[in-house]
Amino acid sequence: MLVAENLIKTFPGVRALDGATLRVSPGSVHALLGENGAGKSTLVKVLTGVYQPDGGRITLDGDDLRLTGPMDAQAAGIGVVHQERNLIPAFSVAENISLHHLPHRRGVVDRARMRAEARRCLGLLEVELDPDAPVATLSPAQGQLVEIAKALSLENRVLLLDEPTASLTGDEADHLYAVVRRLRDSGRAVVLVSHKLEEVFAVADTLTVLRDGRSVASGEALAGFSQSRVVDLMVGRAYEQVELARREVNAEAVPALRLADVATAHGHRDVSLEVRPGEILGLYGLVGAGRSELAKAILGLGRITAGTVEVHGKPARIATVGEALRRYRLGYVTEDRKDEGLFLDQQVTRNIAVTVWRRLARLGLVPDRAERRLALDFVGKLDIRISTPRQVAGQLSGGNQQKVSLAKWLAADCDILIVDEPTVGIDVRTKAAFHELIAGLAADGLALLLISSDLPETVALADRIAVMSDLRIAGVLDNDHDYPRMSRQIIRMIHAETHAEAA
């Protein structure tokens, strides 16, 4: 029996696990549930030795388990199949399955034994696959099965499956669940992390529900729960009501940004949205629902295959971010500030002024003075803490970096802003300041599309909330800022959607 008790894991500014407890018995399927950001991934990473907990203890059959790295977890017989693929596409099925313990004879790989091992593991799953086929030629579902086979090859007693059906069709998922039941019947413990409640109820025996890093249910038999009770447990999240000044949005105004029946090369279908000046439209969804990809398609970084995009009532054809900025005054604050939002090795002033060099330049030269004045103006307005204007962006704290990432669009005088996950990885205090800042921008008349996976944040800030699920808009709700009611409605909307998909 695998028991994790009172696990604590703190990241700068965030307590990701705050007394999480998990009990998993052999021969059972255990569901690990929780909202975005509740701590599920962190818990999986602690159990597989990727993170070391700051507190609490893990025991396996009563023995203390110290996991200082993924190898320790493997040695203890804890295997994991991550949501993202970890297979090497150019290698064969057999090579991938035996990757961490290739059978060899005097340094030469014993291919016959490797194939036999692959057949044995695939046989346990009752899967017919050619061990010599390169993984690149497999479907996502087959890839998933190979990953499970790989985990079985390591003789794991506990198997963690993180969102195993995210990329599978209904039939494929059914097959996977048959496999999961077979693993359970062979005496293994399976931990299933999933957003899809239907599936969880179909296959799991016991459950743990995480909320704000704490277990609000741990190890109880699933039979005693109804689906709506589980939803209540998930969303009853600690919620500090931020008192933000109420704004009036002119519902008659011409939308600043309007999408009508937009489809993209990424797979979005029939996306229709409207954001009016002075309005915050929340775009909520699970991670992977396709929200950032939609934003990037609007900016010309992805292809729009059907439908229309209108800016201030006029059709807009946007091919590049530069065009979005100059012709339509539309900016995008990325969710990935380190990779896409900032130039970490460059000065703060340059990071802010980069979008306006074109405007500041005289005869192709950017006057230092004007750049500095403009940048410092926004440093002051957004209260960005810097020691000198020449400081490089990489030395700032996360919150200040995020402000710099936002400042460049304000400097560029945008009147439509797409803000993607603005408060990820930011401590609570700075988060509140950020919320005020965003509300203030809307009060100044900007149209904001707020992409967020943080439900309390979305409900606190948005005037209306669009829920995205599987690359479609599942619905748009008027936000009455009644958190318990809004959150239930939204969660149900997402689950209804995935349910319809599975049927």
Task: Give residues 106-135 in contact with other proteins (rule: CB under 8 A).
Answer: none
State the distance between the two ends of the chain, measured CA to CA, in whole angstroms: 35
Q: Is 379 in the site for other proteins (CB under 8 A)?
A: yes
By the 8 A CB rule, do 101 and 117 touch? no
Structure token digits, residue 65: 């388990």
Residue 20 pairs with which residues in a beta bridge? Answer: 7
Residue 98, C-beta contacts closer than 8 angstroms, at least 6 positions apart: 114, 117, 118, 153
* Binding residue for other proteins, selected from 328, 332, 378, 434, defined by CB under 8 A: 332
d(CA 107, CA 114): 14
Cβ at position 387, least distance to other proteins in Å: 5
Question: Which of the ranges 14-22, 119-127, 164-172, 376-384 carries the binding residues for other proteins, by CB under 8 A?
Answer: 376-384
Piece of 41-49, 257-265, 343-351, 483-491 that binds other proteins (CB under 8 A): 343-351
Q: Using the rule CB under 8 A, give the single segment among 54-62, 72-80, 150-158, 337-345 that binds other proteins.
A: 337-345
| Cα-to-chain-centroid distance, residue 128 | 33
d(CA 171, CA 411): 51
Residues 266-305 that bind other proteins (CB under 8 A): 299, 301
List binders of other proteins among 383-442 (CB under 8 A).
385-389, 391-392, 395, 397, 399-400, 408, 412, 427, 429-430
Which of 289, 295, 230 has its CA nearest to residue 494?
Answer: 289
Assess 317 for contact with other proteins (CB under 8 A): no
Site membership for other proteins, residue 376 (CB under 8 A): yes
Q: What is the largest CA-CA distance in the chain?
A: 78
Q: Which is nearest to 192 in space by CA: 219, 156, 160, 158? A: 160
The piece of 168-176, 224-232, 321-329, 452-460 that touches other proteins (CB under 8 A) is 321-329
Distance CA 277, CA 379 (A): 25
Task: Pick between residue 197 and residue 426 the one whose CB is nearest to other proteins.
Answer: 426
CA angle 212–336–458, rounded 5-degree value: 45
Cβ nearer to other proteins, comparing 68 with 388: 388
- Binding test (CB under 8 A) with other proteins, winner from 44, 244, 325, 438: 325
Name the site residues for other proteins (rule: CB under 8 A).
Answer: 299, 301, 320-326, 332, 334, 339-346, 350, 354-355, 357-358, 361, 364-366, 368, 376, 379-380, 385-389, 391-392, 395, 397, 399-400, 408, 412, 427, 429-430
